[in-house]
Amino acid sequence: MSDRFLLAQISDTHVRADDAGAAAQQLRRALDGARAYRADAIILTGDLVNDEGADEYAALAEALIDPPAPLFLLPGNHDERARLRAAFPAHAYLPRSGNLSFTVEDFPVRIVALDQIAPGETFGDFTPELAAWLDATLAATPDKPTIVALHHPPFPTHDLLFDTIGLKGAAEFADVIARHGQVVRIVCGHHHRVSVGQVAHAPVVIAPSTSWVYGLAVHEGQQIAPKTTEQPGWMLHAWTEAGGFASHFMGL
């Protein structure tokens, strides 16, 4: 690896067992892109499957055979923890029980992945227990540049739907981030469209979906979450010690 670190972020793949493999094919196209750009690591930030089904996780596992770089999986509100664990037994970074938050220490940038799903709910929940875990995890390595990954956006997007099904406890999340200046980027998904925000000192990037893009409703009377003809895609985050992060939308 050079002094540049390339992280491919793929999100909201929504792999299904009843779509003739369409979502899985889009995921494979994103992986091909990560291969072409020689990504050093790949993270999938939730909504890996569409309906939590075991058959969907089997299709996801098949689509992820032989990835072009070390690959890490984070659940979203369409995922089920036990089935995700069962489908990927070789992914040793995933805790064997309970919450699926984890850290990756193998790269110039530390990856801290936060599982904040609330089973049975569409919103995410940054609980006091998660706050304590994140605070302690970040405090353990204060001098290494860190990217925090989660599924739900931790800032207001001004969308009439997605701000009602976003991250509960976002203010508490911001309080934790503010205490840790080494957090240089936060990445998430859920919204199915690219958006950029800020939490404390850290820029936040929402990745698009590889499957479809949602439109934006900011005024009463506008259609809520219409599927648009905008291009789905993934994100490539490039980091250097001198320049920090640059984040690029990569269309499919």
User: Mean pLDDT over all residues of the chain?
Assistant: 97
> What is the CATH topology of the domain spanning 4-246?
Purple Acid Phosphatase; chain A, domain 2 (3.60.21)
Q: What is d(CA 23, CA 232) in angstroms, rounded to the nearest whole number? A: 11
208 vs 234: CA distance, rounded Å: 6
Residue type, position 79, single letter: D
User: Which are the contacts of 173, defined by CB distance < 8 A and separation ≥ 6?
Assistant: 126, 131, 134, 154, 167, 199
**Which band of pLDDT confidence, cut at 50, 70 and 90, is reported for residue 3?**
confident
Per-residue model confidence as pLDDT tens digits over 206-243: 999 999 999 999 999 999 999 999 999 999 999 999 99
Give the model confidence (pLDDT) of 22-62 as tens digits.
999 999 999 999 999 999 999 999 999 999 999 999 999 99
User: Is 70 exceeded by the pLDDT of residue 2?
Assistant: no
Q: Give the pLDDT of residue 154.
A: 98
Close Cβ partners of 122 (under 8 Å, ≥ 6 residues apart): 77, 165
3-state helix, strand, coil in the chain (%, to 5): 20, 25, 50
What is the rounded distance in angstroms from the CA atom of residue 213 to the CA atom of residue 221?
Answer: 20
> Using CA atoms, how far apart are residues 190 and 207, in angstroms rounded to an integer?
8
Buried b (16+ CB within 10 A) or exposed e, 34-55: beebebbbbbbbbbbbbebbee
pLDDT tens column, 90-115: 999 999 999 999 999 999 999 999 99
Q: What is the pLDDT of residues 146-169, one digit of tens each?
A: 999 999 999 999 999 999 999 999
**pTM of the model as a whole:** 0.97
Compute the chain's Rg from CA coordinates. Answer: 17
Structural contact between residues 110 and 85, judged by C-beta atoms closer than 8 angstroms: no
d(CA 47, CA 239): 26
